[in-house]
Amino acid sequence: MRRASKIGLLSLVVVVMAALAAGVASAEEGSPSTDYGYTLGLAATVGEGMYFIDGGVYRSPVSLELVPSLGFSWFKFDLGLYTTVESLQIAGTNVGYWNFTFRPGGRLTPPMIPLYLRAAIPLQIQRHNFDWGVMFGLGADIPILGMLGIVLEADTTLSKDLDWGGGGIPLEFRAGLSFHL
């Protein structure tokens, strides 16, 4: 590794560590979430995305998701309640049909930055069968007014119906509002 690259990497590590230390210090000063040891939240989002299947790109159905959560420090437990609002025929598969999905999972949420990593196990009830998988996401919950925030998220799901990524990969983008108690 070249010297300039090492210095750049070291600088990045120092900046991240300083941000972490500042966030931990501010959280210890008595934010509402540290008074009780936990936080309750609710996010409501609208999403749409695309499927990459056999070299083609297909639009995914518009969806709605409601996510109640219970958080402790850096971790939040979620129960996503997700549904599509339309059905689409996508490359001869049934992945675009109407469905309702439970998405139990969790988020890693550092207190000093609005970004989070999300993982869930989507248990999907479709019109034709049952599908399950593993969902991964990266999002931001940006506070705007007290308990209200804006949520932006990008997700992908590996599932049984898409042969665990072998038959296609979905990419979904979500936006909405969050409330924190």
Between 19 and 76, residue with greater pLDDT: 76
Q: Say whether both 89 and 124 belong to one domain.
A: yes
Provide the pLDDT for residue 22.
Answer: 43
Provide the pLDDT for residue 166.
Answer: 80
Q: What angle do CA 131, 98, 61 make, to 5 degrees?
A: 105
- CATH number, residue 105: 2.40.160.20
How far apart (Å, rounded) are the C-alpha atoms in residues 90 and 96? 6
Q: Say whether both 105 and 127 belong to one domain.
A: yes
- Domain count of the fold of the chain: 2
Which tens digit of pLDDT belongs to each residue from 112-167?
Answer: 889 999 999 999 887 667 788 899 999 999 999 989 999 999 999 988 878 877 88
Q: Say whether both 23 and 12 belong to one domain.
A: yes
Which tens digit of pLDDT belongs to each residue from 11-56?
Answer: 544 444 444 444 444 444 444 444 567 889 999 999 999 999 888 9
Provide the pLDDT for residue 138.
Answer: 98
Distances (CA, A) of 52 to 3, 84, 102, 130, 172: 40, 18, 23, 21, 11
Which tens digit of pLDDT belongs to each residue from 92-121?
Answer: 777 777 889 999 999 999 878 899 999 999
How far apart (Å, rounded) are the C-alpha atoms in residues 112 and 48? 29
Provide the pLDDT for residue 47.
Answer: 97
- 6's CB contacts (< 8 A; 6+ apart) are none
Provide the pLDDT for residue 127.
Answer: 63
Give the residues across from 71 on adjacent strands.
39, 76
Provide the pLDDT for residue 128.
Answer: 63
Q: Say whether both 159 and 142 belong to one domain.
A: yes
Provide the pLDDT for residue 134.
Answer: 94
Mean pLDDT estimate for the chain:
81
> Domain residues for 22?
1-30
Q: Say whether both 136 and 77 belong to one domain.
A: yes
Provide the pLDDT for residue 35.
Answer: 53
Provide the pLDDT for residue 16.
Answer: 44
Cβ distance 172 to 154 under 8 Å?
A: yes
